């Protein structure tokens, strides 16, 4: 059952909590602390007691349970008396406060070190420094985008296997990319995903403007016209000059300008991605041509005919897989030798026929019961 009393919205409860907070902070600043816990602390030059009090109030400000609220207030007043006694450097309370602050500082440093180690071990999606882009823009500003490969194909020595594997051109959501290796780099995956999501979001927003947005702006323009007409009629009744109509674009005109601009941006992005895909495809062709040349050289070194060289299909397209499966099936069927007629015993005559319950097998030359029934129903003269 929901509680109708929210302590954070009660003025009396807030007043009591603010009074307790001020008293705790005021008393905490009176506790003498060494420099290793304040000015030269690795956590920063600040009073740790004040930070602990502030964090505790922030942590408990959303509590609505009366049990938790009463318990927090009791703890606050208990620590207020503890800090009052800890103001004396020779007291046991002062020693306990210092021990707790040192333990809390070491705990925070340990947590920070653990988080830093986890962040360092986490796979980064940032671009690798020192890497050059695959393609570069060669067209001038204001001209249609044109891209070209940034450099020649990689040398054969850069491949650990000693065999060149040409990349494959792919696309996700209209964003082209090259499959260079497996697994795919995380930063490349992130760039493709974010670019496709931004493009999809902009297209959906444009479609909303062109459908539902037109109805909304039509109603807004109609409302503006009705208000202007009402003000003009009221001015005529009072014998005053009607207010001038401001020459501002209507909501429909504004929305039309927005849709035109968004359509232009989407089309420019489409042309840019298309130009990038042409440059990436040129990279694929260059790699394939060089791989074929290297295959011919390898066959020549082995004493074979270089004309038999053909490009290895490292990454078969998805749409080509069913064709290859069908071709392999036909090859298997063609490889099975045909059995000559009359050779051996057929399976139908050698194996006993399996009949379902309630059925009988007819002997050759004898009509089955179903055939007799059909002839009888058809008006046969046979008795």
Q: pLDDT for 238-272, tens place per residue?
A: 888 877 777 788 888 888 999 999 999 999 999 99
Q: Are 266 and 203 in contact (CB under 8 A)?
A: yes
Separation of CA 16 from chain center = 47
Sequence-separated (6 or more) residues with CB below 8 Å from residue 347: none
Q: Which long-range contacts (CB under 8 A, 24 or more apart) does 115-122 make?
A: none
User: What value, to the nearest 5°, has the Cα angle with vertex 64 and ends 58 and 70?
Assistant: 80
Q: pLDDT for 166-178, tens place per residue?
A: 888 989 888 999 9
Q: Are 299 and 305 in contact (CB under 8 A)?
A: yes
Residue with tokens 């494959």: 168
Beta bridge partners of 178: 169
Q: Are 126 and 187 in contact (CB under 8 A)?
A: yes
Q: Is 169 helix (H, G, I), strand (E, B) or coil?
A: strand
Kindly report the backbone phi and psi dihedral angles of residue 155, in degrees, each rounded to the nearest multiple of 5, phi listed first.
-70, 160
Q: How crowded is residue 107: how many other Cβ atoms within 10 Å of its Cβ?
A: 10
Q: Which long-range contacts (CB under 8 A, 24 or more apart) does 288-294 make?
A: 288/166, 290/153, 290/164, 291/164, 291/165, 291/166, 294/156, 294/164
In order along its 383 residues, the chain shows pLDDT tens digits of 456 778 888 899 999 999 999 999 999 999 999 988 888 888 888 899 999 999 999 999 888 888 999 999 999 999 999 999 999 999 999 999 999 999 999 999 999 999 999 888 877 766 667 777 889 999 998 899 999 998 888 888 887 877 888 888 989 888 999 988 888 888 888 889 999 999 999 999 999 988 888 888 888 888 988 888 888 888 888 888 877 777 788 888 888 999 999 999 999 999 999 999 999 999 999 999 998 888 888 888 888 888 888 877 655 555 555 666 777 778 888 876 655 555 544 444 444 444 444 444 444 444 544 454 445 444 444 43
Q: In the chain, where are the structural domains located?
A: 7-121, 135-301
C-alpha distances (whole Å) from 234 to each of 168, 220, 227, 243, 360 are: 72, 21, 11, 10, 100
Count Cβ atoms within 10 A of the Cβ of residue 165 and give its class: 0-12 exposed, 13-18 middle, 19 or more buried. Answer: middle
Q: Are 292 and 307 in contact (CB under 8 A)?
A: no
The end-to-end CA distance of the chain, in Å, is 87
- Across the chain, mean pLDDT equals 82
The C-alpha atoms of residue 135 and residue 157 are separated, in whole angstroms, by 22
């Amino acid at each position: 059952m929901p509680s109708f009393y929210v302590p954070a919205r009660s003025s009396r409860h807030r007043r009591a909590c603010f009074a307790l907070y001020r008293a705790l902070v005021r008393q905490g600043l009176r506790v003498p602390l060494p420099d290793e816990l304040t000015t030269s602390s690795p956590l920063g030059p600040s009073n740790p007691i004040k930070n602990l009090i502030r964090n505790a109030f922030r942590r408990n400000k959303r509590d609505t349970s009366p049990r938790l609220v009463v318990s927090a207030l009791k703890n606050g007043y208990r620590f207020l008396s503890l800090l009052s006694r800890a103001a004396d450097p020779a007291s046991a309370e002062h020693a306990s406060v210092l021990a707790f602050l040192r333990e809390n500082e070491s705990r925070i440093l340990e947590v920070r070190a653990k988080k830093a180690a986890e962040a360092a071990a986490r796979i980064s999606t940032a671009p690798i420094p020192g890497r050059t882009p695959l393609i570069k823009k060669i067209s001038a500003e204001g001209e249609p985008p044109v891209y070209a490969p940034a450099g020649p194909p990689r040398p054969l020595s850069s491949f650990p296997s000693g065999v060149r594997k040409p990349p494959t051109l792919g696309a996700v959501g209209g964003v082209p990319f090259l499959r260079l290796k497996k697994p795919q780099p995380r930063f490349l995956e992130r760039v493709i995903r974010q670019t496709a999501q931004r493009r999809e979001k902009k297209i959906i927003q444009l479609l909303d403007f062109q459908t539902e947005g037109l109805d909304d702006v039509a109603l807004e323009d109609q409302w503006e016209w009705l208000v202007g007409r009402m003000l003009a009629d009221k001015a005529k009744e009072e014998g005053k000059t009607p207010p001038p109509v401001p020459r501002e674009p209507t909501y429909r005109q504004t929305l039309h300008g927005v849709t035109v601009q968004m359509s232009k941006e989407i089309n420019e992005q489409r042309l840019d991605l298309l130009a990038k895909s042409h440059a990436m495809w040129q990279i694929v062709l260059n790699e394939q041509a060089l791989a074929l040349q290297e295959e011919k050289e390898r066959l020549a070194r082995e004493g074979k005919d270089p004309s038999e060289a053909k490009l290895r299909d490292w990454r078969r397209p998805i749409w080509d897989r069913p064709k290859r499966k069908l071709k392999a099936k036909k090859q298997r069927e063609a490889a099975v030798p045909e059995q000559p007629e009359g050779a051996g015993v057929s399976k139908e005559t050698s194996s006993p026929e399996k009949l379902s319950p309630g059925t009988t097998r007819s002997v050759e030359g004898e009509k089955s019961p179903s055939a007799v029934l059909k002839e009888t129903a058809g008006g046969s003269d046979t008795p």
